[in-house]
């Protein structure tokens, strides 16, 4: 299938109008089952510069609700480093890549 790319703005729940937190454009890459569920392989999202990995996942699921079924198996890679979903604070830079990596094999 052809690679599709789209831009989408997401609002972080912790960001208030006029707040000091800026948003960053990041590339989200979907692999295997996450690509099937999201219906695309990559997109550019606008997310808060500082966000926990769990909050980032929740924002992505708002855009693609079908991804919720893989929540307990998914791992992120941010700047090519694995990040578990949780309260780990991410400080994102413009152009950062966030990969959604679901389990590769069934089980």
* Per-residue pLDDT tens over the stretch 92-106: 999 999 999 987 665
Q: Considering the domain boundaries, does residue 33 fall inside one?
A: yes
Cα–Cα distance for residue pair 80/17, rounded to 1 Å: 31
Distance CA 58, CA 85 (A): 10
Phi, psi at 29, each rounded to 5°: -110, 130
Give tens-digit pLDDT for 11-66: 433 333 333 368 999 999 999 999 999 999 999 999 999 999 999 999 999 999 99
Q: Is residue 106 part of a domain?
A: no
Residue 87 near residue 15 (C-beta atoms within 8 A): no
Domain assignment present for 17: no
Write the CATH number for 34: 3.10.20.30
48 in any annotated domain: yes
pLDDT at position 64: 96
Find the mean pLDDT for residues 83-92: 92
Domain count across the chain: 1
Rounded Cα–Cα distance for residues 70 and 80 (Å): 20
pLDDT digits (tens, 9 = 90+) for 61-77: 999 999 999 999 888 89
Domain span at 80: 23-101
């Amino acid at each position: 299938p052809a690679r599709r790319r789209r831009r989408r703005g997401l609002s972080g729940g912790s960001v208030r109008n006029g707040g000091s937190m800026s948003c960053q454009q990041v590339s989200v890459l979907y692999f295997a089952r996450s690509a099937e569920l999201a219906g695309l392989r990559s997109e550019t999202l606008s997310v808060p510069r500082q966000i926990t990995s769990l909050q980032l996942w929740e924002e992505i699921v708002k855009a693609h609700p079908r991804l919720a079924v893989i929540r307990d198996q998914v791992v992120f890679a941010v700047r090519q480093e694995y990040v578990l979903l949780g309260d780990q604070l991410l400080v994102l830079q413009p152009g950062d890549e966030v990969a959604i990596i679901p389990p590769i094999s069934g089980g």
